[in-house]
Structure 1
Amino acid sequence: MKAYEQKQLLARIDREGATVGADIPERIDVQGEPIDLQSFVFEIKRRDTVPAGERERVQQAKKNLRRERLQRRQRLENEWAEMTWAEGEELVEAIIGLDRALNALESLGPTNIEAEADAKEAADKKRWMNFLKKALGREGSGPRT
């Protein structure tokens, strides 16, 4: 494969809408172990929420999928000269499929918008207080009484 072809494939992976219309692979090797990825994702997505017993399994699956995605991307970044265009295309399709599966798994469970807003507000207040302490030269001092 040529350098410009490798750049095209990497750009395809990084494109914001890359997963739109992409299929989750039916079966994929993750960390050397074959996984029926499509059925796993559909089984988990079928439920409204992830049961407590399944959460750890889903978290581990997401971790393994991220690791596999990173390894495949690094292969495309580092070993592109030894690949054919078809091999690069196949690798990109697999990466996009992994992204699609990760997106589906990340969107699981109810989102608590109020809790997220409260956490953001608390973080904003903390940053503001740290800024004021630095600006007023009171970085090391605790609360004043």
Structure 2
Amino acid sequence: MKEFERKQLLERVNREAATVGAAIPETIEVQGEEVDLQEFVFEIKRRETVPTGERERVERAKRNLRRERLERLQRIEDGEVSYAEGERLAESIVGIDRALNALEALGPADLEREAEAQEAADRKRWMKFLRKALGNEDTSHNTRGRP
């Protein structure tokens, strides 16, 4: 592969909008294992939130995808592959990025929502406890001004 071709491929995979319009690969070999990537991502995205039991599986998949992306990128950077192989690697890197974007979009937003819900529930329990402890079970506001 020529130097300008290598730079062109690297620019393509590192472009900010590289994943726009890109498809998630149906299958991909990650760490020597064939993965039904498209099915996995769509299965996880179908849910409103990632269930607690699935979080570790999703985090492990993201780590493996990042590692695989880095290895493929390194092969292009080293320039030890043909241009055709480099193009194939670049396309797969963009597909991996697309899958990672989809999986990352689930993570923090769901965790934030869960944390907010947990905090609201904690506040509600705390207020109920205080009202009960202080003997103010009545939550109506009509008790002001009464002795």
- TM-score bin (small chain): 0.7 to 0.9
Q: How does 1:105-144 map to 2 (within 5 A)?
A: 105-108=103-106, 109-110=109-110, 112=112
Which residue does the alignment assign to 1:39? 39
Structure 2 Cα separation of the partners of residues 112 and 39 of structure 1: 26
Q: How does 1:1-145 map to 2 (within 5 A)?
A: 1-78=1-78, 80=79, 82-108=80-106, 109-110=109-110, 112=112
The two structures have a TM-score, normalised by structure 2, of 0.73
Structure 1 Cα separation of the partners of residues 110 and 56 of structure 2: 17
1:86 CA drift (Å):
1.3
Pairs aligned (count): 113
Structure 2 Cα separation of the partners of residues 104 and 46 of structure 1: 11
| Unmatched segments (≥5 aa) in structure 1 | 116-145
What do the CA deviations read for 1:21-70 (whole angstroms, capped 9, x no partner)?
00000000000000000000000000010000000000000000000000
Which residue identity lines up with residue 38 of structure 1 in the other structure?
Answer: Q
1:85 CA drift (Å):
1.6
Aligned residues of 2:18 and 2:94 also touching (Cα < 8 A): yes
The two structures have a TM-score, normalised by structure 1, of 0.74
1:111 CA drift (Å):
6.0
Which residue identity lines up with residue 90 of structure 1 in the other structure?
Answer: R
Structure 1 Cα separation of the partners of residues 53 and 81 of structure 2: 42
RMSD: 1.7
SS of aligned partner of 1:47: coil
1:110 CA drift (Å):
2.5
